[in-house]
Amino acid sequence: MTRYLIEGGAPLKGRVRVSGSKNAALPLIAATFLTDEECVLHDVPDISDVRVMLSIAEDLGSTYTFENNTLRIRTPEVKSSEIALEKARKLRTSLMFLAPLLHRTGETKIPFPGGCNIGKRPIDSHLNALEGLGAVVHRADDLIHLTADGFIGNLIRIVKLSVTGTETALLAAAAAEGETQLRLAAAEPHVQDVAKVVQKMGAQVEGIGTNVVTIQGAKKLTGFEHRVTPDYIEAGTFVIAGLVTKGNVVIENIDVDHLDVLWEYLDQMGAKYELRRDAMEVEVFPTDYLSHVDRVRSGVYPDFPTDLLAPMAVLLTQCDGISRVFETVYESRLNYTIELEKMGVKTEILNSHEAIIVGPAKLQGNPVASWDLRAGTAMVLAGLAAEGKTEVSNIYWIDRGYERFEDKLTALGGTITRIEEDA
Ligand code: EPU
């Protein structure tokens, strides 16, 4: 079990560059399967989820090089339309191969996918979209078995405004005959990135960034070159890291318009920061007094991202007064508050969606666990702000989504060391 040892208490200082988005890069790797031509993706984060996705792609017939965050990938022929169980179980985005495999081979069998342990994660949005575009579902239990004799454009309502469900629909619609209209489409920056890529591949897409997206399928989808959108969750994580350690940090490669609700909450707290839209930078300044926020509520984009709620909860521990976090997307994603209690924070889980956090708390270093990717990151932020030593276990979760996390924090003056199992 690899863990981090953190010596807290030092304000972070300096500049940090945000990597390309995990949640854009993963579906874009699957998108490359829609064509037999070469596809080039820049700014692909070198994280374990990307490596798993690439190894699935290789099993299915791709050849690729991945150097300095540039991925050159080509799948001249699809060798198999089935994904191995142990790989599918590792990540939910194995689902993203459904549409491309159906397009290329007319059939696919994918084991029910895995992913972060954050509540029920059904796949009806994917199946509903694929069925609507002409696929036939034969099984959808522990194994998903689909066939399709070509996709046909249609009107699709995306179940629960699902993010990856919308991406599956975009990939299928790009390859479909005729026009598809997606209603209740998710609009997150990574979904927009997938839409931009299918456009580069030859589909015509209107309404990118809105909840109604119209796609005119292309007869033949082509290769493309694309720079992955900056990871707005990583960006927000570093903004919070700077503020919670009372540091002075410049976050580079950030699209400030992706995080409007974060800025709104920071204004309510009285946090000092400066947005530089054209330079794609944000600078956070040491802020001694932060006021509580009545309720920080997650929601679908452009609302506050669920993936940033755990890091935000750590910042709320430093705010004066009682704040409330309200998780609307998942029903069991508040366990990190139990870990925060171990570090001296007064919190209470009110129900499966809501918790209160009493601040300002004097964070004390302690052994804590990562419950999922974002909860693990939150523990690292708490450790950096705490007095004394914090040990964060199960950090394989963090490796799934943050590129060189400890290197970036060390460059900002944080004291954080990776301890391997046998060390
Ligand atoms: N839902 C359904 N039916 C479906 C799909 C989803 O009821 O068919 C429900 C889920 O139960 C959940 C909600 O809708 O309550 C949202 O699920 P969604 O499908 O939108 O999530 P996802 O596509 O599986 C992506 C991100 C997650 C992020 C969510 C919400 C990727 C690869 N993953 O998941 O990222 O939390 O959207 O924004 O894009 C992370 O990066 O740490 C992470 C978990």
End-to-end CA distance of the chain: 10
- pLDDT 10s digits, 384-404: 999 999 999 999 999 999 999
Neighbours of 63 (CB within 10 A): 12
Contact at 8 Å (CB) between 398 and 377?
yes
Kindly state the tokens that stand for 49. 């989820």
Averaged pLDDT score across all residues of the chain: 96
Pocket test for ligand 1, best of 19, 23, 120 (most atoms within 8 A of CB): 23
Of the candidates 376, 374, 326, 323, the one whose C-alpha atom is nearest the C-alpha of residue 352 is 326
* Centre of ligand 1 from the C-alpha of residue 238, in Å: 23
Mean pLDDT of 203-223: 98
Measured CA to CA, the distance from residue 195 to residue 176 in angstroms comes to 14
Of all protein residues, whose CA lies closest to atom 25 belonging to ligand 1?
163
- In the beta sheet, which residues pair with residue 210? none
Measured CA to CA, the distance from residue 165 to residue 176 in angstroms comes to 16
Tell me how far CA of residue 125 lies from CA of 92, 128, 164, in angstroms. Answer: 13, 5, 8
Q: How would you classify residue 315: left for phi > 0, otherwise alpha for psi between -120 and 50, otherwise beta? A: alpha
- pLDDT 10s digits, 86-135: 999 999 999 999 999 999 999 999 998 876 665 657 899 999 999 999 99
Measured CA to CA, the distance from residue 187 to residue 260 in angstroms comes to 14
Residue 79 has pLDDT above 70, yes or no: yes
Pocket test for ligand 1, best of 162, 352, 397, 402 (most atoms within 8 A of CB): 162
Residue 282 has pLDDT above 70, yes or no: yes
Task: Let me know if 274 is exposed, middle or buried by CB neighbors in 10 A (0-12, 13-18, 19+).
Answer: exposed
* Centre of ligand 1 from the C-alpha of residue 164, in Å: 7
Letter for the amino acid at 135? A
Q: How many residues does the chain have?
A: 423
Q: How would you classify residue 296: left for phi > 0, otherwise alpha for psi between -120 and 50, otherwise beta? A: beta
Letter for the amino acid at 317? T
Q: Give 300's pLDDT tier (boundaries 50, 70, 90).
A: very high
According to the model, what pLDDT value does residue 260 have?
Answer: 98
Selecting among 26, 52, 88, 116, the annotated active-site residue is 116
Residue 231 has pLDDT above 90, yes or no: yes
Letter for the amino acid at 286? P
Residue 116 annotated to the active site: yes
- pLDDT 10s digits, 362-388: 999 999 999 999 999 999 999 999 999
Question: Helix, strand, or coil here: 250?
Answer: strand
